[in-house]
Amino acid sequence: MRSTIKDVATAAGVSVKTVSRVLNKERYVRPDTRLRVERAVEALNFRPSIAARTLGGRRSFQVALLCDNPNPYFVYAMQEGVRARCAVENVRMIAQPYSMAGDDLLDLVGRLIDETRPDGLILTPPITDCLPVLEFLTEQQMPFVRISPGTNLALSSSVFIDNKGAAHAMTAKLIAMGHRRIAFIVGDSGYASSNQRFTGYVEALNEAGVGLDLELVRQGRFDFRSGAQAAAELLSLPRPPTAIFAGSDDMAAGALATAHDRGIVVPDDLSIAGFDDSDVASIVWPPLTTVRQPMRDLAYAAADLLFKLGDGVERRELPFELILRQSAAPPRPAEDS
């Protein structure tokens, strides 16, 4: 038989209100009273009903995580990060893994809010840039934090990774290694990070005096297949690139597979660089040179920000890390160096 707050009150010899005070860590409870209550809670293994707390009070002890992303690794990392931070706060994460919600999205979010009344929400790309949703949340006065939004940055507090800086650093590194024909596979244009990464690539080329050759730039869709396809096109060029920098981990994996299929040895004959968008590419693809993007940490930081949210709009930026897995010997010198 499950116990209620009343049982705890009886066991501890206090009123239910006092138990409530202890549960919510309110002040004005004598230390010994608090101790008695805590003991009773422990003894009865009491866990308050979220439903009752939601109905009676101003909080629901629930935070919603909105994902509409086709990358399982990404979704997993987001959920894990948010869940970990919520656990510290004794708050439940309501993970909403939509898949291509599209037009329904606004209705789904509306239902979510009316039905569960979360204390706040965390949005992940590409929902971060869905203006109707942002406006709706603002209108409903729901606190929310966005992860790596690309637009309307003033609309909420957000956490970021330095996409441009990371792509810049990686490109510069490839140039320093002797590469001159560095291809870039752009991610889905629906994601702001795609452009930011591409921008970093372009800037680094400019700074090094290496011309931007649009023949070496291909559009991908963030997934394995589009990366493989883009790499196939690039490697079929009359003058193929000596390095391929993919705008996402899945596309890098695709590029690597294509290279393998063609008998090209990575990294000796071709350098492949990518991003580690989900703390996993590093395991799967040892030959890659990657930018580690601590996605889990980012999600953790987002939840942290949500709990500490003040009135103003705050931004937090997380550092990236270059992980070089190139062979010691520099790759085949670029033809025009």
Partner DNA sequence: TTGTACGCGTTATCAA
Partner DNA sequence: TTGATAACGCGTACAA
In 10 A of CB 324, how many CB atoms?
12
State how far the Cα of 109 lies from the Cα of 137, in Å rounded to an integer: 9
Residue from 10, 11, 21, 256 that binds DNA (CB under 7 A)?
21
Write the DSSP string, 110-141: HHHHHHH--SEEEE-TTGGG-HHHHHHHHHTT
Q: Is 212 in the site for a copy of itself (CB under 8 A)?
A: no
Residue 258: both structure tokens together: 């294509």
The HSE-up count of residue 281 (CA atoms within 13 Å, CB side) is 34
| Partner interacting with residue 59 (select from DNA, a copy of itself, none; CB below 5-8 Å by kind) | DNA
Count of residues binding a copy of itself (CB under 8 A)? 40
Residues 6+ apart with CB under 8 A from 35: none
The per-type count for the chain, helices as H runs and strands as E runs, is: 13, 12
Count of residues binding DNA (CB under 7 A)? 29
Hey, is 97 helix, strand or coil? strand
- Compose the 13-52 pattern: x for residues touching a copy of itself by CB under 8 A, - for all others: --------------------------------x-xxxxxx
CA dihedral 219, 222, 226, 231 (to 10 degrees): 70
Instruction: Pick out residues in 56-75 that bind DNA (CB under 7 A).
Output: 56-59
Residues 6+ apart with CB under 8 A from 265: none
76 or 307: CB nearest a copy of itself: 76
State how far the Cα of 110 lies from the Cα of 266, in Å rounded to an integer: 49
Instruction: Pick out residues in 238-297 that bind a copy of itself (CB under 8 A).
Output: 253, 257, 260, 278, 280, 283-284
Write the single-letter amino acid at 43: A
Residue from 15, 99, 151, 189 that binds a copy of itself (CB under 8 A)?
99
43 or 55: CB nearest DNA: 55
Q: Is 29 in the site for DNA (CB under 7 A)?
A: yes
Q: Is 140 in the site for DNA (CB under 7 A)?
A: no
Residue from 33, 34, 59, 117 that binds a copy of itself (CB under 8 A)?
117
Residue from 35, 39, 43, 49 that binds DNA (CB under 7 A)?
49
27 or 100: CB nearest DNA: 27
Q: Is 212 in the site for DNA (CB under 7 A)?
A: no
CA angle (171, 337, 172) in 5-degree steps: 15
Residue from 11, 23, 147, 288 that binds DNA (CB under 7 A)?
23
Residue 30: both structure tokens together: 């004598």
72 or 319: CB nearest a copy of itself: 72
Write the single-letter amino acid at 69: N
Q: Is 28 in the site for DNA (CB under 7 A)?
A: yes
Decide if 178 contacts 330 (C-beta within 8 A): yes
In 10 A of CB 58, how many CB atoms?
8
Binding site for a copy of itself (CB under 8 A): 2, 45, 47-52, 54-55, 60-61, 72-73, 75-77, 79-80, 83, 92, 94-95, 97, 99, 110-111, 114-117, 224-225, 253, 257, 260, 278, 280, 283-284
List interacting residues with DNA (CB under 7 A): 4-6, 14-21, 23-24, 27-30, 33-34, 46, 48-49, 52-53, 55-59
